[in-house]
């Protein structure tokens, strides 16, 4: 990383308020971990992370936005600090979990922000509960990709959702570094 950028980032991070980790229990004994920042009243954005990630990926966004908006970022079940278990993981499960989470917090109107798989979950929530979801902020939402039949077979045989849930921290870090960081 560029030392000049690192210095600015470190100074910025030093002033960052780390929100208190909160938890709420849903049906089936699922505990959802979440971060809640900003003013209690007014407009709200709920942030939904992508595959094999956690609520903290939104920290730079919520740092700024929480000055004027209530920002809630969640850890989906099986991710971050939320419950792990033998759940029926899939888009419907996550969509139902997010909607139940919103209901448990008595949220009546919300903007959902989702990245990748989180974007696909947000779209599902909006289609299921259009009176609840005011707006969508989508960042590279999953589900719009097109694959040739050969590519689909390759992905289906090589990539399994359970693989991500069973990875330890070292393997996740190696995967992220290989995908996103340059070592030059």
Distances (CA, A) of 52 to 58, 77, 88, 175: 14, 10, 16, 11
Distance CA(12)–CA(120), nearest Å, equals 31
pLDDT reading at 69 higher than 90: yes
Among residues 37, 34, 32, which one has the least CA distance to residue 21?
34
| Confidence (pLDDT) at 169 | 73
State how far Cα 134 lies from the chain centre. Answer: 18
Q: Which of 73, 40, 67 is nearest to 55 (CA)?
A: 73
Which residue would you say has higher pLDDT here, 67 or 174?
67
Average pLDDT over residues 96-107: 97
Residue 91 pLDDT: 93
Q: Is residue 183 part of a domain?
A: no
Residue 106 — pLDDT band, cuts 50, 70, 90? Answer: very high
48 has pLDDT over 90: yes
| Contact between 70 and 43 (Cβ < 8 Å) | yes
Biggest distance spanned by C-alpha atoms of the chain: 50
- At residue 34, the pLDDT reads 97
Residue 77 in this model has a pLDDT that exceeds 90: yes
- In a domain, residue 39? The reply is yes
Share of the chain above pLDDT 90, in %: 60
Domain span including residue 34: 16-147
Of residues 95 and 148, more confidence is placed in 95
CATH of the domain at 29: 3.40.50.1820
Nearest in space to 120 (alpha carbons), one of 94, 89, 99: 94
160 in a domain, yes or no?
Answer: no
Considering its fold, how many domains does the chain have in total? 1
User: Quick one: pLDDT at residue 157?
Assistant: 63
Of the candidates 73, 82, 97, 116, the residue annotated as catalytic is 116
Indicate if 116 belongs to the active site. yes
Q: Note the pLDDT tens digit of each residue in 150-169.
A: 877 766 666 555 566 666 77
* Residue 26, in any domain of the structure: yes
């Amino acid at each position: 990383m560029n030392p000049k950028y690192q210095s600015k980032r470190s100074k910025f991070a030093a002033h960052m308020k780390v929100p208190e980790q909160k938890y709420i229990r849903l049906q089936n004994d699922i505990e959802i971990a979440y971060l809640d920042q900003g003013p209690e009243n007014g407009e709200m954005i709920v942030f939904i992370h992508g595959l094999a990630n956690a609520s903290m990926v939104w920290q730079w966004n919520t740092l700024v936005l929480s000055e004027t908006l209530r920002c809630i970022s969640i850890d989906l079940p099986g991710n971050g600090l939320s419950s792990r278990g033998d759940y029926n993981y899939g888009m419907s499960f996550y969509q139902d979990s997010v909607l139940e989470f919103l209901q448990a917090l008595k949220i009546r109107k919300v903007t959902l922000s989702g990245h990748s798989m989180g974007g696909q979950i947000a779209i599902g929530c909006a289609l299921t509960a259009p009176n609840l979801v005011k707006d969508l902020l989508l960042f590279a939402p999953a589900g719009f990709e097109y694959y040739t039949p050969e590519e689909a077979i390759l992905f289906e045989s090589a990539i399994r959702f359970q693989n991500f849930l069973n990875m330890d921290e070292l393997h996740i870090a190696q995967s992220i570094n290989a995908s996103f960081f340059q070592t030059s």
